Structure 1
Amino acid sequence: MPSNDSLFHDISHAEAPILPLDWAIPFKAYCSLDLSIENKELNGIVISDPLACQRYIDSVLEKNGAQVAYGGYLEKRALYADSDRFSEGGARNIHLGVDFWCKAGTNVIAPLNATVHSFKNNSDKGNYGPTIILEHKSPVGAMFYTLYGHLSVQSLDGLYRGKPVKRGDVLAGLGTPDINVNYAPHLHFQLIVDLQGYNGDYPGVCSQEHVEFYRNNCPDPNLLLGFPE
């Protein structure tokens, strides 16, 4: 299958990374986070419990003197083991976006000019909770989408399909665990090439069987964000 990575090569970004969180938080206040099944630090931690997950994240932030922990693209996680929605049709445990773990209420910033494609409160347990999908046009005219999940309910107020959004606009705020459907507060940020007819939702986790399809349809967000390697 041809790669869609080239779609993002012509989208320039500044010397500093493009970030979909409050620009008042400098990138030096970010640290990487490993929630994969290979991380031995997670042995004995029920990472699917939002309180246990938050305690672990807080320990990583404190250790690194950071405000935001990020990572997770194509990470195989135990985080979804307790949710029935991720066991239907085979175990889905491979994460398709980048997560930014930080305080509830943190502003989510539009990283690029866009229009609102769709939005929805996906409120069933284990889902995204309030979700926004933006539509973008590349320099060569190709369409692609960015998904923002685990937001506050208020983030959906005043939205409508086709609403213009400018780079740097405050798009949303992060929700609390009762609103983001049982997760520690974080932003799920995902690139999508073909939405396949979805509105306000798109799979954010896949099975090993389908990982090659989703790797192509949901490329590494760092192609856009430009994090240092």
Structure 2
Amino acid sequence: DSPMKNINEIKDKVMSVGLIGSGTAQSATTLYRLMFGQPIPEQNAQHLSNEDALAALIVKKIDVAIIVAGQPAKLFTDMNPELLQQIRFLRVDPNAPETARAKQTYYPATIHVSSYPNWLKEDVPTWTVKAFLVTYDYNLRDTVGNLKRFADSLCTNFDNLQEHGHPKWKQVKLELPSLGKGWQYYQPVERRLKACFAHRAAMQTSKGPATAQGGTPAPRADGRPCSDQERLLLLCK
């Protein structure tokens, strides 16, 4: 029964932004700051698990629950149908100025009826995130060896993941797309994956379409005050 229909209407609402230290909390706080040019007011932010956030939403203890998950999310597919009918997705409004600001970092996506056929009656425009596996540019023998083995395992098991893993794997391409400014691929992994791509191409077994990506973040200056994002990710206190 909430009057809210679009994501850009969540300003100053009481919301769960995810557990401290989680990727959901980082995405929620980053997206809010992009859209509204300010952090979420401390008194409005609750740090609940996904399950607890939906329970709080249904009994109206909060106005909004921010959840980051690959679709179809087990959280919703396993949910009691009667409870599911008491909540709804907020939509991305393509004409809202907040949407234009959010596009600086996030990507438009669609929540499909086919993901939740017993709940949704139409597709819902939303935001998506990209996931990066990151490391410092270490040349320590153990680090190089471990990450080489990871790259080899990903290559070897990729087809099995697409066939038997989470449905999101069916949207994954095994490739090395261009990275944003300040990021670079870890060279030992990059070389291993390129060799993998060449081998798969020769065997004509490539499948696909999200991306498996890894990179190294640009370093930050020493002595900088702790940011909201770093605090939420437990990187500083």
Q: Same fold (TM over 0.5)?
A: no
TM-score if structure 2 supplies the norm length?
Answer: 0.22
Q: Which structure carries more helix by proportion?
A: 2
Larger radius of gyration: 2
TM-score in terms of structure 1 length = 0.23
Q: Going by fraction, where is strand more abundant, 1 or 2?
A: 1
Compare relative contact order (CA 8 Å, sep 6+) and give the higher one, 1 or 2: 1
